[in-house]
Amino acid sequence: EIERLQQKISILVIDDSSPDGTANIVRSLQKEYNNILLLVRPKKSGLGTAITDGFRTFLSLKHPPQCIVTMDADYSHNPKDIIRLVSALKKASSLVIGSRYCPQGKTVDWSIMRRATSKIANFMALLIIGAKIRDYTSGMRCYSTKLVQNIIEDLHSQTYEIQIETIRQANIRGFRIKEVPITFINRKKGKSKLAFNEIKQFCSYIVIKVIFREKLRHLFFGQVKREYTS
C-alpha cells in the first residue's frame, strides 16, 4: 500500500521479539525493498518506548527525514492518509494528528465501551493540557524532525500515555499542532486492550507526571518559565 503512494518513504518496523515471525518476514522484504528498516527489541517494552526508539533510529541516520509518521500496521490506519498528513505538515505545522473526532473524522466498528473510554481519555487530556485538540489519543501522526529533536529528551512514557506526552511537550514549546480527519477502522483480527489502557495510563500520566510534578515545581522553584522554540 505504501509503495503505491509513489513517494520517497523509509519504513521502520519495530518488533518486540514477537513469536509470529514478524522479524523474519521483514528481513525477507528487505531483500526486495531497500527502504525498509527493522528494529528488533528483546522483549515487549510498550508503545511509548517503541515510539521514542523509532524517533532515535531515524534521527541517527546519516540523512534524517524531514518528518516522521507513526501509524498502526494492521490497517486500522489507512496508508493513503500519509500523504494528507505530510501535506498538512508542510503548511507551517510541526505536528499533524490524524483525528477521529474532528469534522469528517470517524471510527468504524467500535463498541460503545471503546468509544466511551476513548472520549473520556480525550476529555481529561483537554482539561489538563489545554491545547485545543479533539483527538489526543490518535496514534496516526506526522511529526516534523525539528519537533522530535526538541522533545526527544523529555519523552519518558513507556506505554499509551506517550500520545499525550508528545502533545504536551510540543504545546509548551509553542509548536503548531494541526488535526486532519481520518477514518479509523477497528482491526479485524485480535482483541485491542487500548480502550481500557487509555484510561488507566492517561490517568496515571495526568495525575502523577503533570499535576503532581507541576505542583512540586511551583512549591519549590516558583513559577516555571516556558521556553518556546518554533
One digit per residue, the tens of pLDDT, for the chain of length 230 reads 777 777 889 999 999 988 888 999 999 999 999 999 999 999 988 899 999 999 999 999 999 999 999 998 888 999 999 999 999 999 989 999 999 999 999 999 888 888 888 888 888 888 888 899 999 999 999 999 999 999 999 999 888 889 999 999 999 999 999 999 999 998 755 555 555 555 666 666 666 665 555 544 544 545 444 444 43
Pairing label, strands 11-15, 36-40: parallel
Contacts 24+ apart (CB under 8 A), 120-127: 120/199, 121/198, 121/199, 121/202, 124/202, 124/203, 124/206, 125/164, 125/167, 125/202, 125/206
On the CB side of 46, CA atoms within 13 Å amount to 14
Of 145, 210, 213, which is closest to residue 175 (Cα–Cα)? 145
Record the cell numbers describing residue 69, joined without a space. 509518521
| Predicted TM-score of the model (pTM) | 0.84
Q: How far apart are CA 138 and CA 174, in angstroms?
A: 20
Record the cell numbers describing residue 227, joined without a space. 521556553
Architecture field, domain 64-221: Alpha-Beta Complex (3.90)
What is the enclosing helix (H) or strand (E) of 141? strand 141-144
